[in-house]
Structure 1
Amino acid sequence: MGNGAKAAQKRERNAAKAGGTAKSQTKANEAAKNIICTVCRQTFLLTTRAPALEEHASNKHSKSMADCFPTFGQ
């Protein structure tokens, strides 16, 4: 058994002792990805700021931010 499996078992045991289940942020992060590039359909988190979206639009598509994200900021 590798160290990763041991760590997972320990997390499960500790969660059971605490009376709950192990919590993962993965599902919450997937639900928060609601900014979508209209050109390539790549998703971005709700908290992504305009400079990062502008960088994506110019580097990946050579377009303006308004072309890739027409609903951003509305």
Structure 2
Amino acid sequence: MNRVIIQFFHWYHSGELWKEFIEKAGLLKELGFTAVWFPPATKCSLGKDGRGYDVYDLYDLGEFDQKGGIPILML
């Protein structure tokens, strides 16, 4: 079986990347993607404008109210 990975990350997302992925997961599966590469799931120094690679706090995965974000959905 051939496997195909997609990098689910783009510079111009609205700050709701995880929500966007949930909405598109079925389509991605239909298109044949078998794996997904996400940016790190850490708080960004730019708050919701960050893209995952500008880490603010390596130990805050969303549970602390800092940089304007706390988790809405815990997976």
TM-score after normalising by structure 2 = 0.25
Q: Which has the higher strand share?
A: 2
**Greater helix share, structure number:** 1
For normalisation by structure 1, the TM-score amounts to 0.25
Q: 1 or 2 for the larger relative contact order (CA 8 Å, sep ≥6)?
A: 2
